[in-house]
Structure 1
Amino acid sequence: MIPRQDIAPANPAERMVLTTLRWTWPFYFVGAIYVVGPVLGWLLAGLAALSLYFAPVIRADLRPRGPVPDLVWVWFLGMFVMLVALWIGHLDWGYDAKQIIKSSIGWAKGWALMALFPLAGAVLPIRREVLVRGQCIIGLWTLILLPVLFAAPYVGLPEKIFTSPLKAVGGPGPEYFSVYFFTYDPSSWTPRWQFYAPWSPFAALLGVLQVCFALEDRNIRWRSIGIAAGVAMILLSKSRMGLVGLVACTIGPRLLPLILRGWMWQVLAAFSASLAVIGTYLVQALKDGVAAFKGARADSTRVRETLQRIAGERWYNDAFWFGHGRVQPGPHLVEYMPIGSHHTWWGLLFVKGVVGFLALLVPLVWQTVMALVDATRSPRGRLPLSVVMVLVLLSFGENIEIEAYMMWPGLIVLGIHAAELRADKYGAQSLPAAA
């Protein structure tokens, strides 16, 4: 039985958000998710700008929460620096105006979203519970479709259904516009599922995000649906990173408040003292666990490590400050994977140099510290901290910028949290009159 929908959008911004979440699977079926994400980001950011500008006279249900928080401005500054680094890198390496324009459009569909969605969350009156329920609705779709997806490889259905003609708008690759039942793992030739993501490891982290959101739903039926769907995505994607995230990103934020309790310090003191006896065994067990983790998909680990080494060497030797401007084709040694892919941080160093690396590091560290501190004090900080942890995990196995178009619910939550912290510090403030 489908649980009753007891949360309704209260304004146009919430209606846009909830409608987009409800239609995630239908958008996937026509290969439109990659188009919908950036369009939504720019529309919400434009609505936020109008809300700020016309604050005294705009309709009551769209009035801003308050001035833009400092953290959101830092995200904007960082992403603008990304654009400048992109331009300088292209000019340094002799790319023509056509390529610079094309890459700038890519920035608008990628890195720019890292600032636009937090702006929307910080300014527009979008409630957390709307985002939470929207994620659970995606989970309901997932559970309904799960039997068909799971049976597909065993009843002879094809891997890929089709590639949408929407690929004509341009993007990182055809997989962003393709619809799949499943794919085969090239290392074992066993099926793995990617659901509505462009590939399986990313689907696993979307599953982690699904669980983190679902844990916040007050309706036990919707909460159960969201958690079940998220766990199914993690397990069927067969991603090691997803399993790590399922534990770390859900349990970690809920354990943080314990560090403020006196008895927890006594437990930690006792554990620290015991390390003198069992420390050697724990270190060896940790090493064995890491080795087993890497060995679970040894070919994938080898390719990723080689890509990172090549990216690091070429960044340091060839383009220290502003990078190479764009990813470049890799050799046969890395199965022709692009150099600068499969790792946000090494990718940033290779493509945008130290400048681009710092442009992401500074706002992300700031956001992480704020979420950590608030999570120790209040349950309000648990979901933002979970989102940040998912982003950090994602950054070590994927390129965040080309996946921001699907991480947008979490990015909006980060903006909402920044506005809440600003309100705690400064209280409600009136905005200047419209010009």
Structure 2
Amino acid sequence: MTPENPAERWLYKTLIWTWPFYFLGALYVVGPVLAWIMGAMAALSLYLGPAMRDDLRATGPVPPLVWAWFLGMFVMLVTLWLGHLDWGLGLKKTIKSSIGWAKGWALLALFPLVGAVLPIRRSVLIRGQCVVGAWTLALAPILLAAPYIGLPERIFTSPLKAVGGPGPEYFTVYFFTFDPASWTPRWQFYAPWSPFAALLGVIMVLFALEEKDNKWKAAGIGAGILMIFASKSRMGLVGLVACTIGPRMLPLILRGWAWYMVAALTASLAVIGTAVVTFLGDAVSTFKNARADSTRVRETLQRIAWERWQNEAVWFGHGTVHPGSHAVEYMPIGSHHTWYGLLFVKGLVGFLALLVPLLWHIGVVMVDAARHPRGRLPLGILMTFVLLSFGENLEIEAYMLWPCLVLLGIHLREMADARERIAAPRP
């Protein structure tokens, strides 16, 4: 895989150097820096137009969906200011939170702009993910053996933590961690914690399924599955099945025989419906009980966030997360769930600022995935984002999701190019 222009080269090199950056504790810094540099390049390309060098010239106008993401993230910033103003959090905290916005929410708009405007091929990102998978498989023996040969959990914490971030774990290099509930080892690879590593494994599998070289495909799929199982995350197992199979089944809605099968299955529920409901209820209970302490903490955090949002700050939220008590193992109120977190921190306005562009993007990608194979990977990515949003905070993990965000922009550009080809007059 040879990048054809500087934009591709920077993205590809940054991606394949994921593990070295992790060993330096630099990933949390690299993501936002890349976003703003590449975003500035995209803006410059749009501004200069034909005056820009050929291999970095804008491929077309900014798609409406990218503008929707920019509008939503700008509303998020204004909501942050209003929430800080309402609660009298002071100028220093407002500036700090605004910098946090620039390292988190802003990336959800900047990276799609990069993919939609600059001449970047999706195959570059796909190969890059598979190279990261090869790194992961090469390092797996020492990582998996670490707890059994006496190596420590934590290797070191990078001095880069001085730049500021959500916590020291974003700058810490680990071999593994112990699950406090079962005291068994879990692996988080290059993520700050294990559940997030599992969803990154799902993303790696999604990218690898689109790789044309079988050796690189095997590396990506193998590494992604390893990350899912070694992290011992229930969410990762759900994502592995739903986010890979779902987009590939969507084209069936355009097939007549598929509707006959659905009709037959629906009719059969009259006979087996009770048994199916019972089975699903038992499956959900088993899923929750697999990590009962984690489920309890998450449900308590969500309940507290919901009640305090309704009673204290409906429109613009509390401006920031609040410290949690012993009942939630001192986890911050407003964490561990994107949607409850948005209601608590940024209120109903911030909630809608993410929901509207996300739903619009999902709708566009679903329609394209039903008609064309190019929509499968973007749909799988968005499904993973939705799954991730129910257990994590998207904004503080956007720095690791940038290849997905760039690819969403590339897909919008591909759709626009296809429409232009269809509309072009035939000779």
The residue number in structure 1 matching 2:127 is: 133
Question: Is 1:404 matched up with 2:384?
Answer: no
Aligned positions of 1:48-63 closer than 5 A: 48-63=42-57
> Of Structure 1 and Structure 2, which has the larger fraction of its residues in helix?
2
The residue number in structure 1 matching 2:259 is: 265
Identity of aligned residues (%): 72
Question: Is 1:38 matched up with 2:57?
Answer: no
- Give, as a single letter, the amino acid of the residue that structure 2 aligns with 1:330: G
* Partner deviation per Cα, 1:81-105 (whole Å, 9 max, x = no partner): 0000000000000111111000000
Q: Tell me by how many angstroms 1:420 deviates.
A: 2.0
Distance in 2, matches of 1:88 and 1:239, equals: 37
Count the aligned residue pairs.
Answer: 423
Unaligned segments of structure 1, at least 5 residues: 1-6, 430-435
Distance in 1, matches of 2:10 and 2:394, equals: 24
The residue number in structure 2 matching 1:167 is: 161
Distance in 1, matches of 2:88 and 2:416, equals: 44
Report the secondary structure of 1:366's partner residue.
helix
* Partner deviation per Cα, 1:231-290 (whole Å, 9 max, x = no partner): 000000000000000000111101111121111111111101101001111011000000
Distance in 2, matches of 1:118 and 1:181, equals: 33
Q: Tell me by how many angstroms 1:421 deviates.
A: 2.2
Residues 66 and 428, structure 1, Cα contact 8 Å, conserved in 2: no
Distance in 1, matches of 2:128 and 2:419, equals: 30
Aligned counterpart for 1:109 among listed residues 99, 103, 107: 103
Distance in 1, matches of 2:126 and 2:406, equals: 11
Q: Tell me by how many angstroms 1:59 deviates.
A: 1.1
Distance in 1, matches of 2:323 and 2:120, equals: 42
Report the secondary structure of 2:49's partner residue.
coil
The residue number in structure 2 matching 1:3 is: none
* Partner deviation per Cα, 1:137-167 (whole Å, 9 max, x = no partner): 0000000000000000000000000000000
Distance in 2, matches of 1:423 and 1:107, equals: 32
Distance in 1, matches of 2:284 and 2:130, equals: 33
Superposition TM-score, scaled by structure 1 size: 0.96
Residues 85 and 355, structure 1, Cα contact 8 Å, conserved in 2: yes
Q: Tell me by how many angstroms 1:425 deviates.
A: 3.7
Aligned positions of 1:211-360 closer than 5 A: 211-360=205-354
Distance in 1, matches of 2:371 and 2:358, equals: 20
Question: Is 1:13 matched up with 2:7?
Answer: yes
Report the secondary structure of 1:194's partner residue.
coil
Q: Tell me by how many angstroms 1:64 deviates.
A: 1.1
* Partner deviation per Cα, 1:33-66 (whole Å, 9 max, x = no partner): 0000000011110000011111111111111110
- Give, as a single letter, the amino acid of the residue that structure 2 aligns with 1:70: P
- Give, as a single letter, the amino acid of the residue that structure 2 aligns with 1:421: M
The residue number in structure 2 matching 1:204 is: 198
Distance in 1, matches of 2:420 and 2:361, equals: 18
Aligned positions of 1:408-419 closer than 5 A: 408-419=402-413
Superposition TM-score, scaled by structure 2 size: 0.98
Q: Tell me by how many angstroms 1:424 deviates.
A: 3.4
Question: Is 1:65 matched up with 2:59?
Answer: yes
Aligned positions of 1:373-392 closer than 5 A: 373-392=367-386
The residue number in structure 2 matching 1:47 is: 41
The residue number in structure 2 matching 1:120 is: 114
Q: Tell me by how many angstroms 1:422 deviates.
A: 2.6
Report the secondary structure of 1:54's partner residue.
helix
- Give, as a single letter, the amino acid of the residue that structure 1 aligns with 2:302: Q
Distance in 1, matches of 2:375 and 2:412, equals: 10
Distance in 1, matches of 2:35 and 2:422, equals: 26
CA RMSD of aligned residues (A): 1.0
Q: Tell me by how many angstroms 1:391 deviates.
A: 0.4
Distance in 1, matches of 2:313 and 2:260, equals: 50
Unaligned segments of structure 2, at least 5 residues: none
Report the secondary structure of 1:341's partner residue.
coil
Question: Is 1:421 matched up with 2:415?
Answer: yes
Distance in 2, matches of 1:288 and 1:300, equals: 18
Distance in 2, matches of 1:420 and 1:70, equals: 14
Q: Tell me by how many angstroms 1:222 deviates.
A: 0.3
Deviation larger for 255-264 or 203-212: 255-264
Distance in 1, matches of 2:224 and 2:274, equals: 36
Distance in 2, matches of 1:167 and 1:293, equals: 36
Report the secondary structure of 1:315's partner residue.
helix
Residues 315 and 349, structure 1, Cα contact 8 Å, conserved in 2: yes
Q: Tell me by how many angstroms 1:428 deviates.
A: 10
- Give, as a single letter, the amino acid of the residue that structure 2 aligns with 1:38: P
Distance in 1, matches of 2:56 and 2:277, equals: 54
Distance in 1, matches of 2:71 and 2:396, equals: 19
Report the secondary structure of 2:191's partner residue.
coil
Distance in 2, matches of 1:386 and 1:308, equals: 26
Report the secondary structure of 2:156's partner residue.
strand
Report the secondary structure of 1:198's partner residue.
coil
Distance in 1, matches of 2:59 and 2:252, equals: 31
* Partner deviation per Cα, 1:344-374 (whole Å, 9 max, x = no partner): 0000000000000000000000110111111
